[in-house]
Structure formats: structure tokens, C-alpha cells
Chain A
Amino acid sequence: MSIGIRAAIGLNRVAGRVHYRQLKLAAFVSPVLLLLVWGWVSHLQLISPQLLASPLEVAATFGELLSSGELQEHLTKSLSRLTLGYSIGASAGLLFGILMALSRNVEALCAPLFHAIRQIPTIALIPIFILLLGVDESFKIAIVIKASFFTVALAAYEATKGVSVNYLEVARVYKLPWTTLYGKVIIPAIFPPVLTGLRIAFARSWTVLVAAELLVADSGLGQMMQMGRDMFRLDIVLVGVVLTGLIGFCIDRSFKWGESHLVRWRVA
């Protein structure tokens, strides 16, 4: 790419600040372009409007669902399932992972079964969970717990195993009491990788919950989309897609923000 083109679209490294702002602006180009093409294609009606709702229609449907209170209900349902399942699964996984890494007995006892079950994708367990737990709330929460538990447990286990022996030796030399050992050495050391594990676990839980709601649910974003699919209302489906994506995006970003801000001391 020639320097001329770079300068023309403002990508050349000239002055730091301006350059950065222009880059930020450029970041909006492709999403806006996608919206425009989408609007244009649906305006031309090349594809039947039933199969391609225009962006404006989707926005209108969003407003409709919002004013009728339907959307809030689905959203609350999905998010509360996610929060409940995730907090149980992630905290249990965290404790279990650390315990398995620290205790040889627990490791010898549990690791083989843990690694075996870990191989089975959560989504493949949905049918068994349905048969065991029925199609009620407990099934959806159990599936979220499964998705988050194993991911977080693995991250915590590997992080704790990876704590440098040097740290532990220094702690032993200074004869640190175990409270200090945990509070000042082990937990700070495993914090960054565990945070990454928590983020991945969240993304997996969210996908699996949406899948479970698509399959069997009486409420929730997944069910709303499924209903849209059954009624051939692509606008409703798209509202759901945009929302699930947006929720995933926002939470992913906040985890990443946490990763880069909470562990800033690490760089220093």
C-alpha cells in the first residue's frame, strides 16, 4: 500500500493524537457500511421483505417489544438465569480448581473424571440434562453451571499449578503465615489467567444458555428468537441476534478492561 493512500485515509503516523482519533473514526466505517448496504438491499426488495427486514423495521420492532414490556421480561429472565448459573458454576469452579492444584489427594482422586467430562461439549449434554431435569428452570441453570464450572476450574487449576516455585520458596524463606501466602502471593499470581478463564467461561455460558432457550423455554431471549422463527418474523429474530451479540460484546469488553486495568501492576 502506497504512502499516498495511507495519508489520504489518514492512517499514516503523523501526529499521535490526530492519528489515533482518525483510527477511531475508521473503526466505525465497516459497521456503518454494513448497515447502509443492509438498508439498501432491503429497500430494493431484491429479497422478499419477509426474509430480510430493513434496519428501520428491526428498530421499530425493538421499540414495540420495548414498549410492550415483552423484551424486558425476556431479557431479565435470560440474564437472571445466566447470573445465577454463572455465579454458582464459576465460584465452585474457582475453589475446585485451586484445591485440585494444591492437594495431591484431590488431584489424584478427581482429575481423571474431571478431564474426561471436560471433553464432552456442554451443548451435547443438553438432551441428557433435559431427560434428567425436565424442561424447567433447573435445566437451564444446570447447563450454565456445567459450562462455567469446567472452564473456570481448568483455568484456576492450571494457573495455580503454574505459580512459580520461586515465589513459594521466597515465601518459605520469609516464613510467611499462610494468610499472607494466599493473600499476597498465590491469589495475585493466579489472578490474571483466572480472569481470562472467567471471561471465556462467560462467553460459553451465554452461548449455551441461548441454545438451551432456543430448544426449550417459555421465556428468555432465545425463546423470543425461536418464536420469531416459528412465526416467520425475521425482525424479531434480528432484534434477538443484535441483543445477544451486544450483551456478549459488552460483558467481554468489561472483562478485558478488567484484565488490562486490574493487573496493571504486572507490567511494572
Chain B
Amino acid sequence: MRSISSVLSNLGLGRRAVGLILPILLLLGWQYMSTRGASFAYAFSSISQMQEALRELIATGDLQVNLASSLQRALTGLAIGGTFGLVLGVSMASSRIIDTSVGPLYHILRQVPLMGLVPVFSLWLGNGDTAKLFIVCLSAFFPLVLATYESLRQVDGKFLEVGNVLKLSRAQQFRHILLPAALPNIFTGVSFALAMAWLSTIGSEILFNAGAGLGNLMMNAEMASRMDILVVVTILIGVVGYLLTFVLYRITAYLFRWRKVASE
């Protein structure tokens, strides 16, 4: 049986072109639906409308303002929640008292769906930015505690033995052996926390529905049945999320370039 890609390569198209078939079909299907009278055009806005919506959002500055405020929220949340997560993770990994006493509580609280906490925080902190930021902080906090804890615990025993031989103090052991060994894995946790922070930023903006942010922009578009704006913003959210992870990945790769050399 000849594969699709070999057929395409005979036609002078690369293997990558095959991947474009479905997206193009999807676009054509969407475009077709948008031309099928008013009842469909309400949900399926045409592609030219979407371009128009994008232009309109940029011209009025709506896009920039809301994007900036979402990004700021996600990164602030990551910084605050992540720091607390790091501290708790380190203390849980280095002290058994903290581990056995705080650990179970942490594992119970971690299971509560964060979006389910929206009503609680809205009653406690109001519907403004504080409540949203709190949720974002929590979303970055929980994964980082676990990542830090696990990474520190999984450090190879051989390294610690070297530390013992050199009679390092606990602080030195941590600074020179545990931390460098665990840091690459902790950064994997940071990238997960970043993804969670971005997700919960959008989620909390959708659910709180007050103030600036891409989530609010979407909810307003939803109220006004503006599918064109919705599609543009949703794609933007996906792209920004991807870029955030990508940038962090490059930073991590740069920071830990010594690791590759060391393992070779």
C-alpha cells in the first residue's frame, strides 16, 4: 500500500504538507458554514470577519491592554506562588517533621479543583484582582511544592556520600550538592507551574468577569455573540501559552548547558 506521503512527494509536496490537509479542510468547512444564512453566521463567523476583528482589537488597543494584564497576572502569580512552593518543597524535603505534618494536608488540599475555589475567594476577597491573583498563585504553588520535593528526594545517593566524605555541613551539602543536582528537575516543575498559572489566569478571568484580561475580553465577546473575537482571542491564548513554555524551555536549556557536558 502506498502511503499518502509518498503520493504527495510524487506530486512534489513534502511530507509536512500532509499535515496541512486537515487544518485547510477545517477552515474551508468553517467558511462554508458561515455562508449558510444568518442562523449559521451567528456561530460561524467568516475568516474575513476574524481578520477584521483582529484589526479592530489591535486598533482600539483592547488586545494589548488585556493581554498585558493577563500576562502580568500569570507571571506575578508564578513569582509569588512559585517562591512559596519552592520554600515549602525544600523544607518538606529537608525536614521529616515538616514532611509528615504538612505533607498530608498539602496532598488533600491539592486535590480541590482550583476553579471550585472561585466562589470562596470571591466571598472572601471580592471579585477584583486580588481574588484572581490568589487563584493564580495557588495554581503555581501546588505543582512546584511537589516538583521541588520530589527532585530533592531523587538526588542520587552517591552524590550525598561524597558530601559526607568531604564532611560538608548541612547548609554546604544543600548549596553545593543537593540544589545543583535537583535544579534541572525543579525547572521542569517551573515550566509546569507556568502552564498552570497561564491556564488559571484565563480560567479565573472567565469566572470572575470583572477587570481587564483576555478571559474577560472573551466573556464580553460571548455575551455579545461575537464569535470572530472569540476565535481570535482563543487562538491567541494558545499561542501565548505555547510561547511562554518555549521561552522558559530555552532559558532552562541555556542555564543547564553544563549538564549535557557533564553527562557525556
Contacts and interface: CB of A to CB of B under 8 A. Distances in A.
A and B are partners in one complex rather than unrelated chains: yes
Interface stretch (A68-76, A161-169, A203-211): A203-211
Interface string B96-121: 11001111110111011111111110
B108 A11 contact: no
Given A105-B5, A108-B19, A119-B238, A124 B218 contact: yes
B198 A121 contact: yes
A225 B123 CA distance: 11
B206 A123 contact: yes
B69 interface: no
Given A109-B4, A119-B242, A232-B123, A127 B218 contact: yes
Interface in A117-155: 117, 119-121, 123-128, 130-132
A198 interface: no
A249 B239 CA distance: 32
Given A121-B202, A127-B230, A245 B115 contact: no
B37 interface: no
**Interface size grouping (class) on chain B:** 35 or more
Given A121-B198, A132-B43, A240-B119, A113 B234 contact: no
A113 B116 contact: no
B100 A23 contact: yes
A131 B206 contact: no
A1 interface: yes
A244 interface: yes
Nearest to B17: A108
B218 A210 contact: no
A89 interface: no
A122 to B, nearest CB: 8
B50 to A, nearest CB: 12
A237 interface: yes
**Interface size grouping (class) on chain A:** 35 or more
Contacts of B112: 241, 244-245, 248
B241 interface: yes
Contacts of B206: 123-124, 126-127, 211, 215
B222 A131 contact: yes
Contacts of B202: 121, 123-124
Interface stretch (A29-37, A186-194, A260-268): A29-37
Interface in B63-110: 95-97, 100-105, 107-109
Contacts of B4: 105, 108-109
Contact of B97 (A1, A127, A221): A1
Given A121-B241, A131-B43, A248-B113, A26 B26 contact: no
A14 interface: no
Main secondary structure of the interface of B (DSSP, over half): helix
A26 B100 contact: yes
Contacts, number: 177
Main secondary structure of the interface of A (DSSP, over half): helix
A229 interface: yes
A43 interface: no
Contacts of A15: none
A222 interface: yes
Nearest to B20: A112
Contacts of A130: 222
B54 interface: no
Contacts of A109: 4, 18-19, 21-22
A112 B237 contact: no
Nearest to A126: B206
Interface in A1-52: 1, 5-6, 9, 11, 23, 26-31, 34, 51
B22 A128 contact: no
Given A120-B238, A225-B116, A225-B119, A29 B101 contact: yes
A57 interface: no
A120 B237 CA distance: 7
A258 to B, nearest CB: 17
Interface in A178-230: 203, 206-208, 210-211, 214-215, 221-222, 225-226, 228-229
Interface string B226-250: 0100110011011101100000000
B102 A127 contact: no
Contacts of A51: 123-124
Contacts of A120: 234-235, 237-238, 241
7 contacts: A11-B96, A27-B103, A30-B105, A108-B18, A120-B241, A131-B43, A244-B112
Those 3 A-B pairs whose CB atoms lie nearest each other, nearest first: A112-B19, A245-B112, A229-B119
Interface of B: 3-5, 15, 18-23, 26, 43, 95-97, 100-105, 107-109, 111-120, 122-124, 198-199, 202-203, 206-207, 215, 218-219, 221-222, 225, 227, 230-231, 234-235, 237-239, 241-242
Given A27-B103, A119-B241, 5 more contacts: A123-B115, A127-B219, A207-B115, A211-B206, A229-B122
